[in-house]
Structure formats: structure tokens, C-alpha cells
Amino acid sequence: MPPSQVSFAQAEYDKKKKRTRRELFLEQMEQVVPWTRLIEVIEPHYPKSGKRGRPPIGLERMLRMYFVQQWYGLADEAVEDAIYDSQALRNFMDIDLSRQSVPDATTLMGFRHLLEANDLTQAMLVEVNAMLIERGLLMSRGTLVDATLIAAPSSTKNQEHARDPEMHQTKKGNQWHFGLKAHVGVDKASGLVHTLVTTSANISDISQTPALLHGQEEEVWLDAGYVGVEKREDMRAALAAHAQELKWHIARRRKSIDKMADGWQKNLVQAYEKLKAQVRARVEHPLHVVKNIFKYKKTRYKGLAKNDAQLNMLFALSNLYMARGQ
């Protein structure tokens, strides 16, 4: 079939009257993803065509397939099936079934392992943020610090008859959670993630604070779980190399406010705490995108390294998603 000829399926699809939400989403992401820059990050590690064996599938096509997997929260086999089922996804990947087939699940798994083995998802988060900094959308003078729990399968009905040894449980309120914890440093002005640290769920939020500051901020906003962070030895050591003197905005514990006598002083403290809470609320935006829009509410892989790689990619894509209108 000549390259300019349109297949019957594509012609029928183009005549439909309604544009779906999936089409609109993919068009937006087509525009905001810095394809050339990300391909340059991966290309030195991607296999080249040899004289023997099947030639590798184009890097950009595999990257697009990997992004589809992250955006829709699909397993390797489910991504392959979804692309066969959806003309919008095939258009996004530039696949015409009359000329080529969809890359299979095994090929996608190999690509994912390539990214994990070479820390390329972390490098892509850095590259995305570098682009956002160039456009003035990231790195203001304030950082919001927070952490979120991601559940891991707690069942022992598997081949090893055991839970993931790198995941642990922790108690939040009156409920126990098993899994990992994603600690994020978020830009105060834009709500975009500039730093990520992944740990097991039993690691305290406060212990990861030094690693979540980029070194140029003047203010840090944290919830009540970080009370006393500025007095810790590890934090003091990190501040020695910090470019600016930090101003801390840490939420007060609710019990300390409840014990105050009623009057203007208590009202003033409550008003200030409300203001701090409104600023800190921006840290929830990227977490909402990753958990609810990209459907990442439970770990899919075993071990912290693989899940850290996926989280780096998810937050890179969430930054692009949140900045798409700008």
C-alpha cells in the first residue's frame, strides 16, 4: 500500500463527528512532551540495528507505547490489547495495522527494563524539569514538602508465599498500610514536582526532608508531621551548603491550638494556620494527577527500584500534564 494511501479503518475513523476525551488528551500530550530531548536521553542506551536478528522497533514508538502505559495504568499485555482496540492510540503511535503490528508485551517489558537498568526515568524527570525551568515554569523561591503512601499487594498467595521484602507497613491514624512512600519536593508557585525520593512505608517523612530541597529556595512549607525538622542534625548539615537562609512554615499540631484560651491570639493563630494550609494544598495537585488521573494507586512491580523508576516517570508526565495550558 502506498504511504499516502489511507486505510478504510482510518478513513471511517476520520469521518466520525465526536472527538473523544482520549483524542483530546493525546493531542495535548503530543504538543507538550519534549520528544526530541527525551529521545536524546535514551538513544545512547537503545540497541542499534545489527546484521542478524530482528531489527529493533523505533525508539520513539516504544517511548510512546511506554507513555500510554503510564497514562492509563495498564499492564504490559493490556497496553498491547488497548492499542489494537483503539484507533486513537494507533494514531498516537503512528501505527497502521495494514502495514505493521503493535509492539508486543515482551518488547515493552524489555524497553521498561532498559529504562530501569540505566536510571533513564530519573534522567527524563531531570530533562523535563530543565525544559520547564527554561520556560520559567519551575523553581521559584519556595518548596512544599510532603509524602504519600502507595499500597503494595499484601497477599502471600504467590510463588514465594511471602510479601515483597522491600515493602513495609506503617500506621497512619488508626489504620495500617503496607507498601512504599513517595516523598516529593514541589515548587510552591507552579505545584510541579522537582524532587522525588522513594522509600518503604515505615521510613519517617521528616528524615527525607534534606534530600527534597533543591538548594535555591528561601521558604519551605510542611505539615505538622515535620515539626522540629529544622533542629535535626542531618538538616543542619544540609543547610550548611544551602544557598539561601530558609524560612520555615510548619503547621502547628492541632492539640497545641486547642489548648489555647479563646480570644484574639487563638483566632490569629488559626487564621495563620489556614493560610499555611492553603499554600500547602498545592502539593496535592501532582499527587492527584498520579493517583487519580494516571490511576497509580497500587504498586505493579516488586522491589523499590522498579517502583521508583515508574514514579519518576509518572511525576515527569504529571508535570507536563499540569503545565500543558501554559
Domains parsed from the chain with CATH numbers? 8-117 (no CATH), 139-301 (3.30.420)
What percentage of the chain's residues is helix, strand, coil (to nearest 5)? 50, 15, 35
pLDDT bracket for residue 5 (50, 70, 90) = low
| pLDDT exceeds 80 at position 49 | no
Percent of the chain at pLDDT > 90 equals: 72
Give the residue carrying C-alpha cell 495495522.
97
Residues 6+ apart with CB under 8 A from 71: 25, 29, 294, 317
Lowest mean pLDDT among 14-23, 75-84, 149-158, 194-203: 14-23
What confidence score (pLDDT) does residue 172 get?
87
Residues 70-94, mean pLDDT to the nearest whole number: 95
Residues 20-35, mean pLDDT to the nearest whole number: 94
Single-letter amino acid, residue 320: L
What confidence score (pLDDT) does residue 302 get?
92
What confidence score (pLDDT) does residue 92 get?
96
Predicted confidence (pLDDT) per residue in 236-280, tens digit? 888 887 767 889 999 999 888 888 899 999 899 999 989 999 999
- Which grid coordinates are listed for 54? 530482528
Cβ(215)–Cβ(246) below 8 Å? no
Residues 73-92, mean pLDDT to the nearest whole number: 95
Work out the mean pLDDT of the chain and round it to a whole number. Answer: 90
Phi, psi angles (nearest 5°) of residue 305: -60, -50
Task: Report the run of H or E that residue 80 belongs to, with start and end.
Answer: helix 76-85
What confidence score (pLDDT) does residue 9 get?
61
Cα 95 from chain centre: 27
What confidence score (pLDDT) does residue 48 get?
84
pLDDT bracket for residue 2 (50, 70, 90) = very low
| pLDDT exceeds 50 at position 98 | yes
Q: pTM, whole model, 2 decimals?
A: 0.90
CA gap 290, 267 in Å, rounded? 36
- Which grid coordinates are listed for 137? 515554569
What confidence score (pLDDT) does residue 241 get?
77
CA gap 5, 2 in Å, rounded? 5
What confidence score (pLDDT) does residue 216 get?
87
